[in-house]
Amino acid sequence: MKKIGVAILGLGVVGGGVYKVLTEHREFYQKTQELDLSVESVLEPRRDRIEALGIPEEKVAHHVAEAVLNPDVQAVVECIGGVELARQYVLAALKAGKTVVTSNKELICKYSHELERAAKAHNAGLYYEASCVGGVPVIRTLLDGLQSNEISCLMGIINGTTNYILTNMTERGVSYEEALEEAKALGYAEADPTADVEGFDATYKLSILASLAFHTKVPPVKIFREGIGGITAEDIADGEPLGYRLKLLAIGKRTHAGIEVRVHPAFIRKEHPLAGVGGNFNAVFVTGDSVGDVMLYGKGAGELPTAGAVVSDIIFAATHGEHRYSPYKNTAAPDKETTFVDDFTCAYFMRMTVNDEPGILSKITAILGRCGISIVELAQREKEKGKAKLTLITHETHERAVKSAVAKLGATDYAVVESVIRVAQ
């Protein structure tokens, strides 16, 4: 039986979960995988975490070299979080010839090219299934299940915090601020939720997934990003009668014009499978030229789902003779031959308050028409004396055209644009 010694760097939520899964399932892996996965070393500065997990003192390392240079260790699990220190630790492990498994999406997003170069130079593995969508095996699916397909679209709900917030706003009618505070109280949102609610977390994940799906480096700077901080209960309520649900979507498309990648709140038809993904669950919807549509759904975060993905990578590395690296040219900058679309097209929802007077609709539609925007659906109702609320859905149009129209409407004395939300197609 093949024995794999594991070092765990960091015993936070994920690292502690990895220790639990490895120790509690050791006999199971011996029976089902013919592998003896043994935790040989842990690096954690907080004694309370070590004691809470009952880790023997002889397995506690006091510095990173002690953990990664341990001759009984073949796989190193990075769970310390952050970027710079994690980068140093991972590089040290790779240069020691140890396979590294990480759930650190920001690290992989920003430095996979450097880490992979070190891995190749020292015949080490670098695996990161747990970096995207927690326990949902989306990376393995892209690499091993859909590799025969040319993928045209990848669209997903890949941040559980924002999905929980928007689900509660939808189902209970609470404000963004109320939903955010509830998410913090339940541990779904950090004390500083910026990375989640402003879309950075989803952007890092989309960078990784889009690179794999489209076989070209997609750095985060090429991804359009907008968070959910400006979403109101009124926005969500306006979408309901039109047949839409509001989600923070990560969207990647391969079009004739190039690669289109964006993260932003979007209305999506209630009939679409992603519309029914609620709470802190995640899902990724992929379209391939052979398979058609495929959706992966499950827990996108949490101690055991993410830990399970980490251990899955350890098993994969241990049971395959050769290490797998990125199926694209993994460099710091994107390939010069890759074109990115910066003026994407989609439909748009718009809500505005206008003067309730004869001819107001013709004035609005004239401005939109001059910007090349036509309307699919339009509703008007009295808001207060002398004012009316106007909501509309446009045909598919360009992002720049919409921004231009909003600026022109804002310069008038008869219309105030209150909300503009993209509509997923």
Catalytic residues, by residue number, are: 205
Nearest to 82 by CA among 103, 97, 53: 103
Q: Please state, in angstroms and rounded to a whole number, the distance separating the CA atoms of residues 369 and 397.
A: 11
CA 114 from centroid of its chain's CA atoms:
22
Q: Please state, in angstroms and rounded to a whole number, the distance separating the CA atoms of residues 325 and 347.
A: 38
Cβ pair 277, 271 in contact under 8 A: no
Q: Please state, in angstroms and rounded to a whole number, the distance separating the CA atoms of residues 89 and 124.
A: 14
Q: Please state, in angstroms and rounded to a whole number, the distance separating the CA atoms of residues 343 and 224.
A: 10
CA 84 from centroid of its chain's CA atoms:
21
Name the one residue in this structure whose structure tokens are 């020292």.
122
Cβ pair 61, 7 in contact under 8 A: yes
Q: What secondary structure does DSSP assign to 322-383, as a single string?
A: S----SS---SSPPTT--B-SS-EEEEEEEEEEE-STTHHHHHHHHHHHTT--EEEEEEEEE
Question: Using alpha carbons only, what angle is made at residue 353 by residues 348 and 354, rounded to the nearest 5 degrees?
Answer: 110
Question: Using alpha carbons only, what angle is made at residue 201 by residues 269 and 135, rounded to the nearest 5 degrees?
Answer: 80
Nearest to 328 by CA among 152, 170, 112: 112
Q: Which two tokens stand for residue 50?
A: 């070590």
Q: Which two tokens stand for residue 80?
A: 């310390």
Where do runs of H (alpha helix) occur along 215-261? 233-239
Cβ pair 280, 160 in contact under 8 A: yes
> Taking the CA of residue 276 as centre, how many other CA atoms within 13 Å lie in the half-sphere pointing to its CB?
6
> Taking the CA of residue 167 as centre, how many other CA atoms within 13 Å lie in the half-sphere pointing to its CB?
19
